[in-house]
Chains A and B, each alone.
Chain A
Amino acid sequence: KAGVTQTPRYLIKTRGQQVTLSCSPISGHRSVSWYQQTPGQGLQFLFEYFSETQRNKGNFPGRFSGRQFSNSRSEMNVSTLELGDSALYLCASSLDAQGYGYTFGSGTRLTVV
Chain B
Amino acid sequence: EDQVTQSPEALRLQEGESSSLNCSYTVSGLRGLFWYRQDPGKGPEFLFTLYSAGEEKEKERLKATLTKKESFLHITAPKPEDSATYLCAVRWDYKLSFGAGTTVTVRA
Contacts and interface: CB of A to CB of B under 8 A. Distances in A.
Interface of A: 4, 31, 33, 35, 42-43, 45, 48, 50, 55-56, 58, 90, 92, 98-107, 109
Contact of B43 (A33, A90, A99): A90
B93 A56 contact: yes
Interface stretch (B20-28, B62-70, B72-80, B94-102): B94-102
Given A42-B99, A107-B43, 20 more contacts: A33-B96, A35-B98, A42-B100, A42-B101, A43-B44, A43-B87, A45-B97, A48-B95, A55-B94, A56-B95, A98-B32, A98-B51, A101-B32, A101-B49, A102-B96, A103-B46, A104-B36, A104-B46, A105-B43, A106-B43
Given A42-B98, A42-B100, A42-B101, A102 B46 contact: yes
Contacts of B42: 106-107
Nearest to B51: A98
In this complex, the interface size class of chain B, counting residues with CB under 8 Å from chain A, is: 20 to 34
Contacts, number: 54
Contacts of B93: 56
B34 interface: yes
